[in-house]
Amino acid sequence: MYATQSKAQQPRLHAGNVPSLVWCFTESNVPTFVLPNTIFGVLAGLAGVVLASRTSPTSLKVMLLFRLPFIIRFNWVTVFIFDLANQRLPESVQEDKINKPWRPIPTGRITGDQTRQLLLAAIPLTLTLNYWLGVGQKSCLILLITWLYNDLKGGDGLLRDALIAIAYGLFNRASLFIALGGCALDLQGYIWVAIISGVIRTTMQIQDLKDQQGDRSRGRLSMPLWLGDTVSRRLIALFTLAWSLVCVPFWKLPPWGLFAPLGMAVCVGLQLFSQRSAAADALAWRLWCLWLVTLYLLPLWASWSGHSSR
């Protein structure tokens, strides 16, 4: 419906409104993509000696002053492309009116057609920036996944979590590449990125628990709607525990290294079954994000303690 508005009816876009619009488009994906991928890149970059054979340990000062801004910039602008492509679709607007009514299109700050025009301008700028950062190839693959997920409706079926896991892997590899100053990963680095993608693939549906009403309205077959709410919760709890038991031994850390990952996994599981509401599930999702951070810390711990799977 929004695409048929006359030009007189369409909201006017001003340069001063752009930063606010960018934030509103990306706000919900900052804690799910931008921050986790940035944290992964920074922590793994500081532990570079166990992930890339041709690098020396990166100092915290170099990381924070010179590389962190570029890691954030890559993740944010690339997620911005995905969000523009996703939120402009009519079915997404319908879903957002239920799940995220504060977004720019449901609130009338911008139309779907204006979002499409913004997307046309943002894609070449983003590709240019990411090419300059040395991650142009990964960015092109992310754009391909964006097309598959949104325009070809891959995000509405059972391929959804697989596409998200692949996207996470590309985001994490690019973030780590920037954090390492352009050094390539070795085999252990690639295995670690693959493990984290597996973690995402099997537990990411925790974010779908709070969005079931909106997903049902657009016919999206998310894991909780396909498997059922209870089964999905059990699988998430099981996989968070299982991946904790896999990741700590992978880095050959002492048994007490399981304390933080397992402790957070237990917190996630308890929250999943303590209450069943959108607010409670949103809290479970935030705890899941913290659990991810405990996994991201493991290679840094391994580098400091001299333990690794080499």
Per-chain mean pLDDT for the chain: 87
pLDDT tens track for 111-150: 999 999 999 999 999 999 999 999 999 999 999 999 999 9
Give yes or no for a contact between 172 and 199, defined as CB atoms under 8 angstroms apart.
Answer: no
Q: Which amino acid is at 14?
A: H
Rounded distance, CA 22 to CA 184, Å?
32
pLDDT at 3 over 60: no
For residue 66, give Cα distances in angstroms to 35, 59, 62, 145, 263: 17, 11, 5, 29, 34
Query: pTM to 2 decimals?
Result: 0.86
Q: Which amino acid is at 126?
A: T
pLDDT, position 4: 46
Structural domain including 75 reads 16-305
Structural domain total, the chain: 1
pLDDT, position 2: 43
Across the range 18-29, mean pLDDT stands at 85
Give yes or no for a contact between 285 and 209, defined as CB atoms under 8 angstroms apart.
Answer: yes
- The gap from C-alpha 18 to its chain's centroid, in whole angstroms, comes to 23
| 126: in domain | yes
| 95: in domain | yes
Which of 81, 40, 43, 80 is CA-nearest to residue 60? 43
Spatial neighbors of 8 by CB under 8 A, at least 6 apart, are none
| 4: in domain | no
pLDDT, position 261: 94
pLDDT, position 184: 80
| 124: in domain | yes
Nearest 5°: the CA angle 58, 304, 240 is 100
| 87: in domain | yes
pLDDT at 306 over 80: no
pLDDT tens track for 279-290: 898 899 889 989
Reading the block at residue 276, the tokens are 């069943």
pLDDT at 104 over 50: yes
| 222: in domain | yes
Secondary structure of the chain as H, E, C letters: CHHHCCCCCCCCCCHHHHHHHHHHHHHHHHHHHHHHHHHHHHHHHHCHHHCCCCCCCCCHHHHHHHHHHHHHHHHHHHHHHHHHHHHCCHHHHHHHHHHCCCCCCCCCCCCHHHHHHHHHHHHHHHHHHHHHCCCHHHHHHHHHHHHHHCCCCHHHCCCHHHHHHHHHHHHHHHHHHHHCCCCCCCHHHHHHHHHHHHHHHHHHHHHHHHHHHHHHHHCCCCHHHHHCHHHHHHHHHHHHHHHHHHHHHHCCCCHHHHHHHHHHHHHHHHHHHHCCCHHHHHHHHHHHHHHHHHHHCHHHHHHHHCCCCC
